[in-house]
Amino acid sequence: MATILLVIIYICFIGLGIPDSLFGSAWPTIYRELALPIGYANFVTIIISGCTILSSILSVKITKKIGTGGITAISTVMTAVALICISVSSDFIFICIFSVPLGLGAGGIDAALNDYVANNYKSIQMNFLHCFYGIGVAASPFLMSIALAGDGGWRGGYRIMFCIQLAISVIALAALPLWLKCKRLNNKNDKSETDRKGVSHGLVAAIKNGSVRQSWLVFFSSCAIEYTCSTWGSSYLVDTIGMAVDKAALIITFYYVGITLGRFLSGILSYKLSNKLLIFIGQGIVLTAIILLFMPLPPLASGIALFLIGMGNGPIFPNMLYLGPRIAPDLDSQAIISTQMTSSYIGILAMPAVFGLIAQNISVRLFPAFLAVMFTILLVSTLFLSKKLPNNVKE
């Protein structure tokens, strides 16, 4: 029963990843078609991230009321509706409006499922969970590149992803009775849905904890790197390297393949290596990739560099989330993860927007330098936190 539920959770995480990479790969076509400044992408990313932050903060209370299965089903339905509405939008303002349910849906399901897996499964399952997220974010730009190369355009790409998301929504709704059965069969009960005395106190205690606060910068900077590449990687390849928009979207697909591969390998290696060591190995790969971006090499090298950034940065997020409840075991686990998810989404909200301003007012050529700054924050914050991270979590 628990295995079947895990498979459904994996499928739902594919749905979580679908919208995250779709907009960035479509934006070079959208802003040209609608005659918009390139920096207007910031409005969409800010709206999505802001709504995600809100729903992530509220996820503890919402999950307590309707359960992990309920919030999962509602969130997938919301994102499916948002995708089809964006596909028929004739004005930028409607794209912004329909970005609201995308953000609200993402935050709730992300925090709830991460907490559930962190407390009920092993490290390898957490890495594989985010590996399936990587499948979702890799599929979006790939299918978008096909739509852009054909007659469908960016609207056709959104409609394709709506169909996939709709199917996932049906699975999530059908799985609601399974959540209840697993809860009854689990003698320990779901820690994320029961025995949450004083939820507000749990959030306050997590915020006051020094180790939890130190972890925020790791999540902030790692997600800043991931989503800056997602949102602006295609524009960098088109406007600086000179790639065609469909080929640039395909390159972003390989970037997300890198994320998926990195998380898959991390899951396998978690049998032998600690989560802490896996985080540092990933950071070493990211550093190598950023150096590669600065070098005067053929265009293909930029695609390889983005692939390596994805592969190195990908395992950091799931391994940090798995360590989250273990950084402060006396605190409510979902309260910890909720604050960490919030810091992640602040990075997603702020940093692609900051680079958007840089691209608009200076040049998109500063993309590698911006990633280097974010990586420096990531490395330094991880080094400061490293003494607090457990060395022997391999289960």
Torsion of CA 168, 174, 179, 185, to 10 degrees: -130
Residue 71 belongs to domain with CATH number: 1.20.1250.20
Query: Do 331 and 209 meet the contact criterion of CB atoms below 8 Å apart?
Result: yes
* Dihedral sign for Cα atoms in the order 234, 238, 240, 243: positive
Asked if residue 248 lies in contact with residue 238, where contact means CB atoms within 8 angstroms, the answer is: yes
**Does residue 27 lie within any of the structural domains?**
yes
Which ranges of the chain does DSSP label H, i.e. alpha helix? Answer: 2-33, 41-87, 92-120, 123-149, 153-174, 176-185, 199-208, 210-236, 245-269, 275-294, 299-313, 316-327, 333-361, 367-385
Residue 381 belongs to some domain of the structure: yes
Measured distance CA(395)–CA(271) in Å, rounded: 7
The answer to the question of residue 101 being in a domain is: yes
pLDDT at 373: 96
Residue 186 pLDDT: 60
**Based on the structure, what is the number of domains in the chain?**
1
Residue 190 counted as domain residue: no
Exposed, middle or buried: residue 273 (CB in 10 Å: 0-12, 13-18, 19+)?
middle
Tokens linked to 155: 């609207």
Which residues have CB under 8 Å from 78's CB, separation 6+?
101, 102, 104, 105
Residue 132's alpha-carbon distances to 7, 127, 142, 225, 256, in angstroms, are 10, 9, 15, 19, 11
Contact 275, 221 (CB under 8 A): no
Q: DSSP per residue over 182-210, as a string?
A: HHHH-TT--TTTS----HHHHHHHHHH-H
The pLDDT of residue 114 is: 84
Residue 172: partners with Cβ closer than 8 Å, 6 or more residues away: 8, 12, 15, 69, 72, 73, 76, 77
Q: Cα dihedral sign for 105, 133, 278, 120?
A: positive
Q: Where in the sequence is the domain holding 205, given as residue range(s)?
A: 2-182+198-388
CB of 27 within 8 A of CB of 41?
Answer: yes
Residues 274 and 392 sit within 8 Å (Cβ to Cβ): yes
DSSP secondary structure letters along 122-146: -HHHHHHHHHHHHHHHHHHHHHHHH
- Give the contacts of 39 (CB within 8 A, at least 6 positions apart): 356, 357, 359, 360, 361
Q: Is residue 393 part of a domain?
A: no
Measure the CA–CA gap between 15 and 80, rounded to whole angstroms: 9
Predicted confidence pLDDT, tens digits, the chain (395 residues)? 778 889 999 999 888 888 877 888 888 889 989 988 887 888 898 898 788 888 888 877 788 788 888 999 999 999 999 999 999 998 999 999 999 998 888 877 887 888 888 778 887 888 888 888 878 877 888 888 889 888 888 999 999 999 999 999 999 999 999 888 877 666 455 444 444 444 444 777 778 888 888 889 999 999 999 989 988 888 888 888 888 877 887 888 788 889 889 988 998 898 888 888 999 999 999 999 999 999 888 878 888 999 999 999 999 998 998 887 777 777 777 788 888 888 988 888 789 889 988 988 898 899 999 999 999 999 999 998 887 766 655 44
Question: Of 161, 164, 60, whose CA–CA distance to 114 is shortest?
Answer: 60
Q: Give the Cα separation of 324 and 219 in Å (integer).
A: 11
